[in-house]
Amino acid sequence: MLYREAGQFKTSYAADQALLPIAQDRIGLFVILISAFLFIPAFTSDFFIGAIMIPFLVFALAAVGLNILTGYAGQLSLGTGAFMGVGAYSCYKLATYFPDTNIIILILCSGVFSAIAGIAFGLPSLRIKGLYLAITTLAAQFFLEWCFLRIEWLYNYNDSGAIEVPQRKLFDIAITGASASPVARYLVILSIVALLTLVAANVLRGRIGRSWMMIRDMDIAAELMGIRPLYAKLSAFAFSSYYCGVAGALMVFMWLGSAEVEAFDINHSFLILFMVIIGGMGSLTGCFMGAAFIWVLPVIIRAVPSMLGLDLIAATTEHITNIVIGVLIIFFLIVEPHGLARLWQIAKEKLRTWPFPYSST
């Protein structure tokens, strides 16, 4: 009843091609953005913003990156963590060499280095595909991880081997470093994530995005129809890695504050892959749903035993989290291989005809 597009007439081609053609969607997105930008900073605690919202946004951005590659271009990748690392380390080096440049510009630039790494490790995708390709991305993961550990130049030859985030300001408000408030960091991340997601949504429905989807659906047929696999595949790798790189830079600069190699290990690659699977392959909304689900679920599992008055050790809850996530992944693959995004779409379809599901619309 509420979600029905009856009476919304499109009178121009521009309206027909709009990103959100249905008025309710536009209102919904507007409400989400308003609450994200205004209500969450105003009414929630620093803990909620720092421990839940910031990681959620970082992982959502990384999931968007992986989803571009895996969900839209059909190239399975297990190297997301390493590409995030390239972004983080290059942002750190940029911040060392250009201390006066605005940190947000540096973060956005650091994705470019990650994109270059993505193109380099995407080259095998021209000859191999599917599972074989997934394994070659493991080469990227382990090789880059080794680089982060062994090339001391990357962490400025310091003894700890960790990258420490310097203090940087925007409009005289500290946004990185130890003294930056969670709210300031949150707002910066939110703006970057919102902007990049908008760009992704437009790229994906444009010519490049459609060529990725053609490659995904059937590469030989796409080639016969005039899509160049070289450009399509490598641009997908570049775009995807750019997003992962920015997410990695954000992760270190805006969330963790300092990071070692372990922050970019293969478990993170898997974590982001899970977000994409559970959220839904080939859906941007799904990335956010998946990231929220995977990140918030452990928080809930940790909270449940104490609410019930049970006293579990932290390690035990971690094992239980592992099991639950594993079961959920299999459950989702069996019941709804297209993830939460598809469930949301089905719900919307139902809403359109509710309360008269059998009347013709």
The residues binding other proteins (CB under 8 A) are: 70, 76, 124, 127-128, 130-132, 134-136, 138-139, 142-143, 145-146, 149-150, 218, 220-221, 224, 266, 270, 273-274, 277, 315-316, 319-323, 325-330, 333-334, 337
Smallest separation, CB 327 to other proteins (Å)? 6
Smallest separation, CB 281 to other proteins (Å)? 9
Q: Take residue 81 and report the two structure tokens written for it.
A: 């963590």
Nearer to other proteins, 134 or 194 (CB): 134
Smallest separation, CB 122 to other proteins (Å)? 11
Nearer to other proteins, 70 or 110 (CB): 70
Encode the chain in three state secondary structure: CCCCCCCCCCCCHHHHCCCCCCHHHHHHHHHHHHHHHHHHHHHCCHHHHHHHHHHHHHHHHHHHHHHHHHHHCCCCCCCHHHHHHHHHHHHHHHHHHCCCCCHHHHHHHHHHHHHHHHHHHHHHHHCCCCHHHHHHHHHHHHHHHHHHHHCHHHHCCCCCCCEECCCEEECCEEEECCCCCHHHHHHHHHHHHHHHHHHHHHHHHCHHHHHHHHHHHCHHHHHHCCCCHHHHHHHHHHHHHHHHHHHHHHHHHHHHCEECHHHHCHHHHHHHHHHHHHHCCCCHHHHHHHHHHHHHHHHHHHHHHHHCCCCCCHHHHHHHHHHHHHHHHHHHHHHCCCHHHHHHHHHHHHHHHCCCCCCCC
Smallest separation, CB 192 to other proteins (Å)? 29
Whose CA is closest to 232, among 204, 197, 196? 204
Do residues 290 and 277 touch, judged by C-beta distance below 8 A? yes
Smallest separation, CB 279 to other proteins (Å)? 13
Whose CA is closest to 198, among 210, 188, 207, 190? 190
127 φ/ψ angles, rounded to the nearest 5 degrees: -105, -30
Q: How far apart are CA 233 and CA 76, in angstroms?
A: 12
Nearer to other proteins, 90 or 269 (CB): 269
Smallest separation, CB 69 to other proteins (Å)? 12
Nearer to other proteins, 9 or 153 (CB): 153
Nearer to other proteins, 258 or 321 (CB): 321
Smallest separation, CB 333 to other proteins (Å)? 5
Smallest separation, CB 98 to other proteins (Å)? 28
Smallest separation, CB 252 to other proteins (Å)? 22
Nearer to other proteins, 7 or 226 (CB): 226
Look at the block and give the residue holding tokens 């390709």. 133
Nearer to other proteins, 33 or 221 (CB): 221
Nearer to other proteins, 274 or 293 (CB): 274
Nearer to other proteins, 77 or 90 (CB): 77
Nearer to other proteins, 228 or 348 (CB): 228
Q: How far apart are CA 277 and CA 264, in angstroms?
A: 20
Smallest separation, CB 324 to other proteins (Å)? 8
